[in-house]
Amino acid sequence: MPSHMFLACVFELVLLRQSADFKLSIATLRMSGILPSSGDIQLQAESLAARLKRDSVVEDVSAGRGVINFKVNRKLLVQKVLESFGKEEEGQFGLNSELLNTLTRGTTLVEYSSPNIAKKFHAGHLRSTIIGNFIANLKQCLGNNVIRMNYLGDWGMQFGLLGAGFAKFGCQEKLKQNPLQHLFEVYVEVNKDVEQNEEMMQAARAFFSQLEQHDSEAVSLWQQFREITVDEYQHVYKRLGVHFDIYSGESFHQQQAQQVVQKLQSQGLLKTSEKGTGVVDLSTAKDMSSVSTVLRSDGTTLYITRDLAAAIDRKEKYHFDEMIYVTDKSQAIHFQQLFHILLAMGHSWADRCEHVPFGLVRGMKTRRGEVVFLEDVLDEARARMLRNMNQSKSRNYTFDWDRMLQAQGDTGVFLQYTHARLHSLIQRNEGVAAVLFDPSHLLEQTSVPVLQHLLRYDEVLYQSAKDLQPKHLVNFLLKLCHLIASAHRELPVKGSSQDVAQARLRLFSGARSVLANGMKILGITPVDQM
């Protein structure tokens, strides 16, 4: 087993300030099959500790209670970690590790955000946007060629409802004054009406059918809805610091969706249900016990039909090695069916497609009008931050260590303040910084844990790449900020001798670099002052 994989599997890093730098659990080795599962654990620990050799990196190995304790050469630790910040380009720390070199690289297409046209961008869309942006940033950081796609919900029965609803409740004057707000109000009204009025549902079906048949009046109204929505979305994305390489949508794949239906039919995969709908049999026994509907009885396509067409088109256009969909968990079955049908059609690359789900934002129902719009959230957040900052005449933030070190202080604001504080420290001591430094000045109990934590950066990126979850990086950065807080308090630069100041400044500079890089991957732009 390669050494880096061995470490990743069995080492449990702990900041044991008194006795050891990290420990190896005998129980973990037994569970993994490296050691026999029977016998006295303590004897196994003592026997293994006696056989492990000391070298220039590991100064001491000893047996503890069911564990083996290791103490590293701390001077070498300081030198190697901090020297790398001087040798590598900004943002490259940890990215050349053997562990990350085991990851497969190529072209990654990430579909995220994907709000619905004619609806205001609400807080529920934010989760897909932020998580998808994180995944795209992470993949790009790790060396992948990343394609960022916003696949707009700009087709489907919802436009039948909106088109029919606009004819009854809409007003062109109101649409000019406050376009998305008026469309939202129309959408709420038509959904109320549909619950009690079957004629309205028939009108909605008729409007969508006209859209699919490219009726000029229906298409013109749809285009008007789409253009005003995209304009507002781009304004919101600019505020969030999010960009896309491609804006696509369901409407792009109308004709291709019909071709998919024909292909399914020619392959013998398309069946007709008792209701007259077109379905694909997903059951193992092929007894129609589990089906996916791909065609309505009136011949119009569905969301999954257009998704099938979109996936095939993307593979042909972009030749991706993997495709990642970021949506809420309610669509899990949809994507299971999508990948199943693609494989049944002979598209083996569907095995490299993945759905990354996230929890729903509860308490929001667009059809009933129970929704919190994102712009309102952003405006309120900005107003509150400005109000808090204006309470101080100097516009400075009063840094309270006790409050910052509380668990409830673990927020994005904490990351920003820590970064701004480090940047200020480095700027104020610009004349002190030096290429060379003496690592023996950084052997204190508060500096070593920072360095040990920085060494975990590649492992955290590896974990993040494996499950595409931002939690690993978030926790790593928050822990780093707590460690920096202690080091900043106990290792002053100002007032120290030049050698000591240079060493400490190198530590804080390296920590700031990793903090900034991690924040950028999360989609947070580090600020230099607050």
pLDDT digits (tens, 9 = 90+) for 106-149: 999 999 999 888 777 766 678 899 999 999 999 999 999 999 99
Predicted structure pTM score:
0.82
Tell me the sheet residues that pair with 61: 70
Within 13 Å of residue 20, how many CA atoms lie on the same side as its CB?
A: 16
User: pLDDT tier at 480 (50, 70, 90 boundaries)?
Assistant: very high
Contact criterion met (CB below 8 Å) for 22 and 36? no
Question: 381-409, pLDDT tens digit by residue?
Answer: 556 655 655 554 445 444 444 544 443 36
Question: 16-26, pLDDT tens digit by residue?
Answer: 334 577 788 88
Lowest mean pLDDT among 204-218, 259-273, 289-303, 379-393: 379-393
Question: 484-521, pLDDT tens digit by residue?
Answer: 999 999 999 998 999 999 999 999 999 999 999 999 99
User: How far is the CA of 212 from the CAs of 117, 140, 394, in angstroms?
Assistant: 17, 38, 61
DSSP state letter for 348? G
Question: 277-293, pLDDT tens digit by residue?
Answer: 999 999 999 889 999 99
119 is annotated as an active-site residue? yes
- Alpha carbon distance 258, 263 (integer Å): 9
pLDDT value for 116? 82
Contact criterion met (CB below 8 Å) for 10 and 32? yes
Catalytic residue among 53, 71, 80, 119: 119
Other residues' Cβ atoms within 10 Å of the Cβ of residue 451: 23
Q: What are phi and psi of 245, to 5 degrees?
A: -80, -30
Rounded to a whole number of angstroms, the distance between the first and last alpha carbons of the chain is: 48
The CATH architecture annotation of domain 108-262+308-375 reads: 3-Layer(aba) Sandwich (3.40)
Instruction: Let me know if the fold of 75-102+392-522 is the same as that of 108-262+308-375.
Output: no
Buried residues in 509-528 as b, exposed as e (16+ CB within 10 A): bbbbbbbbbbbebbbbebee
125 is annotated as an active-site residue? yes
Catalytic residue among 53, 80, 120, 122: 122
Catalytic residue among 120, 125, 253, 488: 125
DSSP state letter for 89? P
- Alpha carbon distance 269, 347 (integer Å): 14
Other residues' Cβ atoms within 10 Å of the Cβ of residue 394: 7
The CATH architecture annotation of domain 3-72 reads: 2-Layer Sandwich (3.30)
Spell out the domain ranges in the chain: 3-72, 75-102+392-522, 108-262+308-375
Q: Is a pLDDT exceeding 70 seen at residue 376? A: no
Q: Which tokens go with 325?
A: 């969909």
DSSP state letter for 54? P
472 is annotated as an active-site residue? no
CATH 1.20.200.10 at 75-102+392-522, yes or no:
no
Q: Which tokens go with 199?
A: 């004629």
DSSP state letter for 370? B
User: How far is the CA of 287 from the CAs of 88, 184, 273, 280, 472, in angstroms?
Assistant: 60, 43, 12, 11, 44
User: How far is the CA of 282 from the CAs of 266, 275, 294, 340, 377, in angstroms?
Assistant: 17, 18, 12, 8, 42
Query: Treating both helix axes as pointing N-terminal to C-terminal, what angle do 498-522 and 471-490 enclose, rounded to 10 degrees?
Result: 160
